[in-house]
Amino acid sequence: MRKTCRPSRFVADVTKKVPPSGIRRYFDLASEIDDVISLGVGEPDFVTPWHIREACIHSLECGETSYTSNYGLLELREEISGFFTDKFTTTYDPKSEILVTSGVSEALDLAIRAITNPGDEIIIPQPSYVAYTPSVMFAGGVPVPADTCLENEFKLHAEDLEDVITEKTKALILNYPNNPTGATMGRKDLEAIADVVAEHDIMVISDEVYDCLTYNGKHTCFASLDGMKDRTILLNGFSKAYAMTGFRMAYALAPREIIASMMLIHQYSMLCAPILAQIGAIEALRNGTREMERMVRDYDRRRNLIVSGLNRIGLDCFVPTGAFYAFPSVESTGLTSEEFAERLLFEQKVVTIPGNVFGKAGDGFLRCSYATSREEIEKALARLEEFVEGL
């Protein structure tokens, strides 16, 4: 008789330390209820523009189904380089400073693993996207929250950053436009952060996947600030701007030494991003601006609709200037974020994500995605109003 196996005995300690995503729980709850209206979706409600899909179909017809360079198709890297040169006057060498990845999630994981030694501290402004803290933990690093607040429109302030820097600080993760708050940071705000990171010799991982979804003024690319290109691992992708979430297509731009280190991990784990998605990405960069701008104008209108609606209902909501999230406060109702979100789901069938899922600084807030149709937003607001009035 052979020994019986207890699989749980083999699970690595680090995975036991990382709590499951709070969003996952809401997915499970929402999945059990029929006819929900969801403001809980962190992806565009548009289908990928047809010309991008058609380019992919054509590539399949041509039999383009092979591996590509580990770095990604050179043609795509050249397009990405040209795009950044045109848009931000920041030039990256397609051969050594650009790595094409399977989604920003992979790029983020590679970036963190490429620079983190056990015990290194990585500062994460909160509320933050749910993957940052676990990614740091998986890499053996120590996530250090830096709180942002409503009074500062959820921008990271230099003093708050200074407060959490220690001799172990290795990097800062920036994510503007921000998921979950919809906050953006202008050039002046970012210059203050640049001064601090340069002073303390800290690396910056800047996740700018929502850069095209900026509504008041232009997005400032952190790497384009004076002296920041060599200090920045810039992450961006196609999911949000071109409605290509399912393609899993993104890239990292960084100094060659960092890209080489990320590449080392990437070539042994992912090998290369799917060629089909890379071809779609080339088409998006070459011919996707018009469709992208049309989608952004649509988001802008929905943003106005949801923010004015939330404020009318009595859920104070600052005006988000990027991404596709509104982040209203539920403090006036006397309920916690979790209580509010759960009761709203069960009583009115509206899915929102409680702010505390994104860190303690998100307590008392809700994330409401307006990446859904105008009709759905109007219905959701009507149900929200009924719910708040009934409290």
Q: Which amino acid is at 242?
A: Y
In which element (H, E) is residue 303 found? helix 289-313
* Residue 43 or 331 having the CB closest to another protein: 43
Contacts of 191 (CB under 8 A, 6+ apart): 225
Is residue 346 close enough to count as binding another protein by CB under 8 A? no
Is residue 36 close enough to count as binding another protein by CB under 8 A? yes
Binding span for another protein by CB under 8 A among 58-66, 68-76, 302-310, 331-339 = 302-310
Separation of alpha carbons 386 and 383, rounded Å: 5
Separation of alpha carbons 17 and 24, rounded Å: 17
Q: How far is the CB of 276 from another protein (least distance, A)?
A: 17
Q: Binding string, 214-253, against another protein, x = CB under 8 A?
A: -------------------------------x--------
Is residue 208 close enough to count as binding another protein by CB under 8 A? no
Cα torsion 304, 47, 296, 345 to 10°: value is 30
Tell me how far CA of residue 190 lies from CA of 166, 194, 305, in angstroms: 20, 6, 29
| Residue whose structure tokens are 């018009």 | 290
Q: How far is the CB of 261 from another protein (least distance, A)?
A: 26
Is residue 373 close enough to count as binding another protein by CB under 8 A? no
Q: Contacts with another protein in 144-183 (CB under 8 A)?
A: 179
Binding span for another protein by CB under 8 A among 12-20, 250-258, 266-274, 303-311 = 303-311
Binding span for another protein by CB under 8 A among 22-30, 164-172, 182-190, 195-203 = 22-30
Is residue 325 close enough to count as binding another protein by CB under 8 A? no
* Residue 136 or 228 having the CB closest to another protein: 136
- Please give the DSSP secondary-structure letter assigned to residue 233: E
Separation of alpha carbons 148 and 256, rounded Å: 32
**Alpha helix locations (H) across the chain?**
13-17, 22-31, 50-61, 74-88, 103-115, 132-138, 158-164, 187-200, 256-269, 275-287, 289-313, 337-348, 374-389
Is residue 129 close enough to count as binding another protein by CB under 8 A? yes
Query: Can you give the binding site for another protein, defined by CB under 8 A?
Result: 21, 23, 26-27, 30-31, 36, 38, 40-43, 45, 47, 129-131, 179, 245, 297-298, 300-302, 304-305, 308-309, 351, 353, 374
